Amino acid sequence: MDTLYLVVPCYNEEEVLMETSKRLIVKVSDLIKKETISEKSKIVFVDDGSKDKTWQIIESLHKENGLISGIKLSRNRGHQNALLAGLMTAKEHADMVISLDADLQDDIDAIDKFIEEYYKGNDVVYGVRSSRETDTFFKRNTALGFYKFMTALGVDIVNNHADYRLMSKRALEGLASYREINLFLRGIVPLIGYKSSVVTYERAERFAGESKYPLKKMLAFAFDGITSFSIKPIRLITSLGFTIFVLSLFTLAYSLIAKFTGNTVSGWTSIVSSIWLLGGIQLLALGIIGEYIGKIYTEVKDRPRYIIDKFIN
């Protein structure tokens, strides 16, 4: 029997943490009883610098039940870094690790299928949503558009997959060799390349509390994913610049012809429109280029992605 660690990133999750731990304890205890996993298996909650009583709850849960472990980061580092901290810590103790959110939207009954796929020889098992009926119209269509756009840019990404996945110890060791500061695990994990499979599940409504990914954070996360894994936006700027250059040659030829034929009346609308169009394109191009330069800046500094304050195991 192999050892399983469940890694659960938490940020201000005091409203849902008791219920989440209760359900996960039942699930892990049942798997141990069935001799599917080792009795050394654990549930690891990662406190990502929460401002509420999340860490105090984790400590009390650890004292009450030996299945519960906790990692406290020194400060808030964001979901992806908190998740990575849990994965890298669990790697030293477990044969397989499953990451899931604390809000109980991920179907924990799918864990059984994850483990089945692991024992079939899969190093990575992706949890994929079977539908998006629980999402709003806007979120559903923007999410689908994001996955299609990422695929079009050449990024190897699993559609409708968030961060609910199983990874073997070998896969985690492969993940550890990726040193990006700007983390987008949904794009990094498929690059590892080991044998993988998919488990579909129904995503539920959030049990309690508020989403930690409002629209602003979702857009920032999507933009990070695009600029971290594809240089096509830069190439699109080059193509756009070339196209505008060719059009400008035609415009220049037209202007010269108009001058020599005596038809030199210029249109105010066309002048203003062209100025605004070119100005907007230039600012957009500078913004995209600046985003890439900013990422280079943060990468070359090579600062730690997280610092662990406490680890109770």
Give residue 99's pLDDT: 95
Poorest-pLDDT segment among 11-15, 149-153, 288-292: 149-153
Point out which residues pair with 165 in neighbouring strands: 99, 126
Place of tokens 């429109």: 273
**Is the pLDDT score of 283 beyond 80?**
no
**Is the pLDDT score of 212 beyond 60?**
no
Neighbours of 293 (CB within 10 A): 10
Predicted confidence band of residue 94 (pLDDT cuts 50, 70, 90): very high
Q: 57-71 in b/e burial notation, b at 16+ Cβ within 10 A?
A: bbbebbeeeebbbbb
Question: What average pLDDT does the segment 261-265 reach?
Answer: 59
Q: 178-204 in b/e burial notation, b at 16+ Cβ within 10 A?
A: eebbbbbbbbbbbebeeebbbbebebe
* Alpha-carbon gap, residue 177 to 191, rounded angstroms: 11
Predicted confidence band of residue 311 (pLDDT cuts 50, 70, 90): very high
**Is the pLDDT score of 288 beyond 80?**
no
Every domain of the chain and the residues it spans: 4-212+305-312, 232-301
- Specify the higher pLDDT residue, 162 or 168: 168
Average pLDDT, the chain: 82
Q: For domain 4-212+305-312, give the fold.
A: Spore Coat Polysaccharide Biosynthesis Protein SpsA; Chain A (3.90.550)
- Specify the higher pLDDT residue, 202 or 260: 202
* Alpha-carbon gap, residue 36 to 119, rounded angstroms: 10
- Specify the higher pLDDT residue, 175 or 294: 175
Residues 52-87: pLDDT tens digits? Answer: 999 999 999 999 999 999 999 999 988 999 999 999
- What predicted TM-score, i.e. pTM, was given to this entire model? 0.73
Predicted confidence band of residue 162 (pLDDT cuts 50, 70, 90): confident
